[in-house]
Amino acid sequence: MKIKFCTQCGSTTELKVPVDDNFERYVCTNCAHTHYLNPRIVCGCIVYKEDKVLLCKRAIKPRMGLWTVPAGFMENGETTRNAAARETQEEANINITTGKLFSISNLPHANQVYFLYLADLGDKSYSVTPESSEIALFSKDDIPWDEIAFHTVKSSLTKYFEGLEDNHESKKNFKLHEVDF
Ligand SMILES: [Zn+2]
């Protein structure tokens, strides 16, 4: 990402390492305001019901028409857990209670970090939203593995089902997965 103009005064910026810094930043040529660019945090839920997980077909860009778990960018003022629940509400219309943190995935090439929580659907209902054109529960063998929108989501789902096979009856035994892409 490039910041061409200063967010404070509108003048042009230049890319340089500010004094007492170790990274290149976009610094204003007029007022010297320094613009920091940091990773974005994506939060979401692996919503499960018995041996199935809930996937949403994306009605929005990017990767429109492909499947993913409910997830999206964290907002200022939120916790990761709150963000995961809000995204699940926005994308699948579920008032979910989040459980254990399942995975932290680092995507340094995309400047993103993913936090995915486990969440039991129970008897709650779900429905399509402006962000999801279709929502369904899939068992491992029914998942459209070739139509998963994001590599990191596919990886976490794979680990989830591997864990299910190892743990069988209890999801309490899931360990936290840290994955670097
Ligand atoms: Zn400026």
CA distance between the termini of the chain: 20
Instruction: Name residue 138's beta-bridge partners.
Output: 53
Instruction: Name residue 15's beta-bridge partners.
Output: 26
CA of 113 to the centre of ligand 1 (A): 30
pTM of the model: 0.91
Give CA–CA dist 108/148, Å, rounded: 20
CATH class of 1-37: mainly beta
The one-character DSSP state at 80 is: H
Give CA–CA dist 24/82, Å, rounded: 33
- What's the confidence (pLDDT) of residue 164? 85
Closest CA to 90 of 138, 126, 118: 126
CA of 112 to the centre of ligand 1 (A): 27
CA of 30 to the centre of ligand 1 (A): 5
CA of 13 to the centre of ligand 1 (A): 8
Q: Where do the structural domains in the chain lie, given as residue ranges? A: 1-37, 40-180
Are the CB atoms for 149 and 73 separated by under 8 Å?
Answer: no
Residue type present at position 102: F
CA of 37 to the centre of ligand 1 (A): 16
Token pair recorded at residue 133: 């054109």
Radius of gyration from C-alpha coordinates of the chain: 19
CA of 78 to the centre of ligand 1 (A): 29
> What Cα–Cα distance (Å) separates residue 37 from each residue in 19, 97, 109?
17, 32, 14
- What's the confidence (pLDDT) of residue 173? 75
CA of 5 to the centre of ligand 1 (A): 8
CA of 43 to the centre of ligand 1 (A): 33
- pLDDT tens column, 83-129: 999 999 999 999 999 999 999 999 999 999 999 999 999 999 999 99
CA of 172 to the centre of ligand 1 (A): 52
For 17-26, the CB contacts below 8 A with 24+ separation are 26/2
- pLDDT tens column, 146-181: 999 999 999 999 999 998 887 665 666 788 999 999
- What's the confidence (pLDDT) of residue 11? 98
Is residue 31 over pLDDT 90? yes
In three-state secondary structure terms, 97 is: coil
CATH class of 40-180: alpha beta
CA of 18 to the centre of ligand 1 (A): 14
- pLDDT tens column, 35-93: 999 999 999 999 999 999 999 999 999 999 999 999 999 999 999 999 999 999 999 99
Q: Which residues contact 60 (CB under 8 A, 6 or more apart)?
A: 130, 131
CA of 41 to the centre of ligand 1 (A): 27
Dihedral over alpha carbons 136, 142, 143, 147 (to 10 degrees): -100
